[in-house]
Amino acid sequence: MTIFTYFYLLNFLRDILILSQFLIIFYLALREIKKNLKQGFFFLLRFFLIFIIVFLLVGFLKDKFPEVRPLTYLGLGLKEKNSFPSRHTALSFALTFLLLYYDFKFFLFSLAISLLISVLSIVSLAHWPQDVIFGFLIGFLLALIFQEGLNFFHRLNAHKFKPKT
């Protein structure tokens, strides 16, 4: 097995693991939709918005901080300079930490998947350890800021329309 085959197989596995996280989210969204249609769609909208925010922010950072991949650094090909930060890791941890607010069992399962994605990112020579660490920080902080922002607006809205007695 060549190093490129190894690289592409492990990256494909990372894609499959993120897909499994999306399947968890869709399962939970369908469960919410069965209970309450409006809340279920808002549940799904939250995950869609965090996905877009993380995807765009990481793309911006990859352009501003071009870094070669370990595979390129070792002279094994792939002349890409888009290693920093890890998009897989940032997306995975952002989705995981949003799940913390909804279902702890699925959060733990998703956390295990996120950790596996992080390890595979380094082992496959796709990312440096600092790429993965910053991907984790981006995912964690964006999920925290996003959820706290939603909570703030929910509290603001709840007090705004509170009937006077």
Question: Which pLDDT tens digit goes with each residue over 76-109?
Answer: 666 677 889 999 999 999 999 999 988 899 999 9
Return the pLDDT at 152: 84
Say if residue 7's pLDDT is above 90: no
Which amino acid is present at 88? H
Segments forming the whole domain that contains residue 76: 3-146
163 lies in some domain = no
Task: Tally DSSP H helices, then E strands, for the chain.
Answer: 6, 0
96 lies in some domain = yes
- Residue 63, SS3 per DSSP: helix
Residues 11-59: tens digit of each pLDDT:
899 999 999 999 999 999 999 999 999 888 989 999 999 999 999 999 9
pLDDT-based confidence at residue 67 (cuts at 50, 70, 90) = confident
Average pLDDT over residues 129-150: 94
Cβ(127)–Cβ(69) below 8 Å? yes
The phi and psi torsions of 98 (rounded to 5 degrees) equal: -70, -35
164 lies in some domain = no
Total residue count of the chain as it appears in this document: 165
133 lies in some domain = yes
The Cα 76–Cα 91 span in angstroms is 27
Q: How many domains does the chain have?
A: 1
Return the pLDDT at 114: 97
165 lies in some domain = no
89 lies in some domain = yes
pTM of the model: 0.88
